[in-house]
């Protein structure tokens, strides 16, 4: 159910420090429940025990002075001392008796809940400290939550343990670090009817990208069973990214889906004193997503509603960290908690940090990257929390997973590597707050990394976080984008890797001048499109490889469409609503043959560089079916996801007839030029494109100069041959004469013309030449944008 405005406001009251005391400081606690339910507000599915009750509990128990005495002079960096004194304070609270008035108030509230849901109804007992979720101190995960609690006696015990969890070792250390007085932080408790996600699924969603702070996506994680496993990092969950702007326009923009392992799930149990237990997830369930697309979109919509509410209330952007659950009995979705995101939202996006790995070592293991930094140090493998006092500050922590008990040593680690967990697990959240690199979900880090081994942890290579043997060299570059003026010439970027798109969007830009399909096909799909279309004709070995990659897909060709669409959509969403020019596939036949199943469908050519490539493939029988899949992917991105900032570009189009043939095939598969605002560009990379520029202008909406191939074909040089490498030069007068002519013709025909070749990135003086001739846009490699812009500004002046 969508939380309504009134409920959201009530949760605001529960979470802040000025919850009203019960009838004044000296009032009877018999009024507690009435005050916990503000007039005119019905708290659905539960009740709350305020911070006033906690203060009254400590006062009546008379243990306050003893607690202060135990904590006096504590050194939180002494793990043994911290553990011993923390245990003593918790035991004091856990052995204290509830005042009769408070016991009665809680029991009466629980019995009222049971009238609606049945005797001994199952509840979650959730803590909420008054100092939680502040802009500079989130306190996330510091206190305890207890699930599937039944009956008054167990409820009282859970409340007592909740109160004592205000003094867990990690909470004590955190307050000391943040300079909070232990006795001016109070705890309230929310008692909620359980959502039966033990029979369905649950997870966490953030209303931004947790790794980069990119604001225009909702990031949803999901796994089977109760949500504690995702929060604790015990499972590698499914992941989904949804684009906010086009979601709000009514489209279905799930721009990325990643199938998680979901190896275990937490369910109810009545074994002994346990209330929950973990069991293995059935293999068939692991192989499929735990949410439907409709459910993902519904959760994302709720995330936007909640974010918009708090943004309006606080008068500044307020991204949210939200827990959700699906009831397996009713099949309904519920929001169970919402708190502010306190790490990425506080960063200055004008300051661009870039970490660059300058060496490569042996890859020990990899998982999901958290952040974008690099660290090198000695690995220390710790498999049990009882051994955390052995950790040496400055080392790299390698472990199965973390929970809040590990926070004291996480604070002094140089990086963290875990076997389990996803990007919303405990290790990931704490690492972001600490600003250290973290790799989660490696599965085998504790086995592959040896105790005392020197390693480098790299989160600077996109979505994959890698752990290498050795102390590798790396560099850190810091740039201030706010100091750069904006040129009149559009500065676009060449982007191939979707995993880098969100981060790259913060570099000053006017969009993407070249988004290559090849990177997505090579890295995300890996299979020749014709092999997917003709799967039944393949040999057993190739079929087995394809089955492994396309699990969950009965229609193998749809796998190609979906994955290509996701990659393109991620780039398009990162730069929305700026133009993103997507070049259709331009593999050579020998490169296509390297894809899985590719050798069955590709000819052997003596000179693939000027052979069957680009436009020539799209309308011929040997590949037209494959090109149709590319068209379907682009149509999905534009029409289903609403990312109409995507423009399509045709590479290596040799003749006017070829151009017409390609446009005809595109139209047959739903991509009609100018329908739904579709613009189609052509690469200007063959001398014929320049010589017949006026006629190509009649077919296409714009040109993008490919200086690499244009240089090769103008000078008759094989750009891959070291024997004639000294002749290959984009700055040659013949090449520059052709480029100047192409710009002149396009300007006269009112067609857009830019350049996406390597030359402007390598040679700033070449970029100045282009500006002099009035080019509309220059698309640069991301790492050269900041150094090239000043030279373009100088030329414009």
d(CA 49, CA 187): 9
pLDDT at 10: 32
Residue with tokens 């300058």: 358
Q: Provide the token pair at 132.
A: 């939680």
Residue with tokens 């192409």: 742
Q: How would residue 494 be classed by pLDDT, with cut points 50, 70 and 90?
A: very high
Q: Provide the token pair at 81.
A: 């001392």
Q: How would residue 377 be classed by pLDDT, with cut points 50, 70 and 90?
A: very high
CB 577 within 8 A of CB 645: yes
Conformational region of residue 181, where left means phi above 0, alpha means psi within -120 to 50, and beta covers everything else: beta
CB 516 within 8 A of CB 527: no
d(CA 76, CA 78): 5
Radius of gyration of the chain (CA): 30
Q: Tell me whether the omega of the peptide bond preceding residue 577 falls within 30 degrees of 0, making it cis.
A: yes
Is the pLDDT confidence value at 29 over 90? Answer: no
Is the pLDDT confidence value at 13 over 70? Answer: no
Q: Rounded to 5 degrees, what angle do the CA atoms 266, 235, 365 make?
A: 160
Q: Calculate helix-pair angle for 733-748, 707-715, nearest 10 degrees.
A: 120
pLDDT tens-place string over residues 117-157: 999 999 999 888 765 544 444 445 567 889 999 999 999 99
Q: Global pTM?
A: 0.85
Cα dist. 693→293, 674, 791 in Å?
Answer: 45, 20, 29
Instruction: Tell me which of 180-194, 463-477, 518-532, 579-593 is least confident.
Output: 180-194
d(CA 384, CA 243): 40
Q: Higher-confidence residue: 62 or 665? A: 665
As a whole number, the mean pLDDT across the chain is 88
H helix intervals, 72-168:
79-94, 100-117, 152-164
- Going by C-alpha positions, the residue among 14, 35, 12 that lies closest to residue 23 is 35
Q: How would residue 524 be classed by pLDDT, with cut points 50, 70 and 90?
A: very high
Cα dist. 395→8, 383, 412, 446, 591 in Å?
Answer: 42, 15, 8, 15, 43
pLDDT at 35: 37
Is the pLDDT confidence value at 20 over 50? Answer: no
Is the pLDDT confidence value at 41 over 70? Answer: no
Query: For a pLDDT cut of 90, what percent of the chain falls above it?
Result: 65
Is the pLDDT confidence value at 796 over 80? Answer: yes
pLDDT at 131: 57
pLDDT at 18: 33
d(CA 83, CA 79): 6
Q: Which residues are catalytic?
A: 426, 756
pLDDT tens-place string over residues 345-372: 888 878 888 899 999 899 999 999 998 8
The stretch 186-202 carries a mean pLDDT of 91
Instruction: Tell me which of 365-374, 633-642, 711-720, 759-768 is least confident.
Output: 759-768
pLDDT tens-place string over residues 288-336: 999 999 999 999 999 999 999 999 999 999 999 999 999 999 999 999 8
Is the pLDDT confidence value at 34 over 70? Answer: no
pLDDT tens-place string over residues 430-476: 888 788 999 999 999 999 999 999 999 999 988 889 999 999 999 99
- Non-local (6+) Cβ contacts of 252 within 8 A are 293, 297, 640, 641
- Going by C-alpha positions, the residue among 619, 566, 662, 285 that lies closest to residue 558 is 566
pLDDT at 23: 30
- Going by C-alpha positions, the residue among 450, 435, 474, 459 that lies closest to residue 398 is 450
CB 769 within 8 A of CB 482: no
């Amino acid at each position: 159910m969508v939380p309504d405005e009134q409920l959201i406001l009530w949760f605001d009251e529960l979470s802040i420090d000025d919850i009203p005391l019960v009838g004044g400081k000296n009032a009877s606690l018999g009024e507690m429940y009435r005050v916990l339910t503000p007039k005119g507000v019905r708290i659905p599915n539960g009740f709350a025990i305020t911070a006033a009750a906690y203060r009254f509990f400590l006062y009546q128990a008379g243990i306050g002075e003893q607690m202060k005495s135990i904590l006096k002079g504590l050194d939180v960096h002494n793990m043994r001392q911290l553990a011993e004194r923390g245990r003593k304070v918790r035991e004091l609270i856990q052995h204290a008796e509830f005042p009769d008035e408070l016991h009665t108030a809680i029991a009466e509230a629980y019995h009222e809940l049971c009238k609606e849901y049945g005797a001994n109804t199952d509840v979650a007992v959730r803590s909420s400290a008054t100092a939680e979720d502040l802009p500079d101190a989130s306190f996330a995960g510091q206190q305890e939550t207890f699930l599937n609690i039944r009956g008054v006696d167990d409820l009282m015990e859970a409340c007592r343990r909740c109160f004592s969890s205000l003094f867990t070792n990690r909470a004590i250390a955190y307050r000391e670090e943040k300079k909070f007085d232990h006795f001016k932080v109070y705890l309230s408790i929310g008692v909620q009817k359980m959502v039966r996600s033990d029979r369905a699924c649950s997870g966490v969603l953030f209303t931004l990208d947790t790794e980069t702070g990119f604001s225009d996506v909702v990031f949803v994680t999901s796994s089977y069973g109760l949500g504690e496993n995702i929060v604790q990092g015990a499972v590698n969950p499914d992941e989904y990214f949804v684009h906010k702007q086009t979601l709000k326009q009514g489209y279905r923009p799930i721009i990325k889906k990643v199938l998680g392992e979901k190896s275990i799930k937490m369910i109810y149990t009545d074994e002994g004193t346990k209330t929950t237990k973990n069991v293995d997830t059935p293999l068939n369930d692991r192989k499929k997503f735990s949410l439907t697309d409709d459910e993902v979109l519904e959760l994302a919509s709720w995330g936007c509603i909640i974010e918009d509410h708090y943004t309006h209330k606080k008068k500044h952007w307020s991204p949210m960290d939200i827990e959700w659950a699906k009831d397996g009995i009713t099949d309904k979705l519920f929001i169970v908690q919402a708190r502010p995101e306190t790490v990425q939202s506080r960063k200055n996006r004008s300051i661009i940090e870039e970490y660059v790995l300058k060496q490569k070592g042996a890859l020990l293991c990899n998982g999901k990257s958290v952040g974008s930094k690099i660290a090198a140090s000695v690995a220390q493998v710790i498999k049990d929390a009882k051994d955390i006092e052995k950790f040496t500050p400055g080392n790299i922590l390698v472990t199965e997973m973390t929970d809040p008990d590990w926070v004291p040593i996480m604070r002094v680690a140089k990086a963290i590597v875990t076997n389990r967990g996803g990007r919303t697990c405990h290790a990931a959240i704490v690492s972001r707050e600490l600003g250290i690199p973290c790799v989660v979900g490696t599965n085998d880090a504790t086995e592959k990394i040896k105790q005392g081994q020197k390693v480098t942890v790299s989160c600077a290579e996109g979505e994959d976080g890698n752990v290498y043997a050795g102390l590798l060299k790396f560099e850190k570059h810091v740039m201030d984008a706010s100091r750069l003026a904006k040129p009149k010439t559009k500065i676009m970027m060449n982007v191939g890797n979707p995993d880098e798109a969100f981060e790259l969007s913060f570099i000053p830009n006017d969009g993407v001048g070249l988004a290559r399909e090849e990177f997505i096909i090579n890295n995300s799909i890996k299979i020749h499109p014709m092999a997917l279309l003709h799967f039944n004709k393949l040999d057993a070995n190739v079929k087995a490889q394809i089955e492994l990659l396309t699990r969950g897909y009965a229609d193998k060709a749809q796998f190609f469409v979906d994955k290509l669409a996701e990659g393109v959509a991620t780039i398009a969403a990162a730069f929305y609503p700026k133009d993103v020019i997507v070049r259709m596939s331009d593999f050579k036949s020998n490169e296509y043959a390297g894809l899985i199943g590719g050798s069955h469908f590709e000819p052997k050519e003596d000179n693939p560089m000027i052979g069957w490539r680009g436009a020539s493939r799209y309308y011929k029988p040997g590949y037209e079916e494959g090109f149709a899949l590319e068209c379907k992917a682009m149509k999905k991105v534009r029409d289903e996801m609403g990312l109409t900032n995507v423009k399509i570009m045709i590479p290596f189009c040799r003749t006017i007839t070829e151009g017409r043939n390609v446009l005809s095939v595109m139209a047959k598969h739903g991509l009609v030029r100018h329908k739904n605002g579709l613009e189609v560009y052509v690469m200007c990379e063959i001398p014929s494109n320049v010589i017949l520029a006026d006629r190509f202008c009649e077919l296409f909406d714009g040109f993008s100069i490919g200086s690499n191939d244009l240089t090769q074909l103008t000078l008759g040089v094989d750009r891959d041959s070291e024997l004639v490498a000294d002749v290959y030069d984009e700055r040659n007068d013949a090449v520059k004469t052709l480029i100047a002519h192409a710009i002149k013709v396009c300007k006269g025909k009112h067609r857009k013309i830019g350049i996406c070749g390597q030359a402007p990135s390598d040679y700033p003086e070449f970029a100045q030449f282009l500006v002099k001739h009035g080019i509309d846009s220059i698309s640069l490699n991301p790492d050269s944008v900041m150094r090239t812009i000043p030279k373009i500004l100088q030329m414009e002046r």
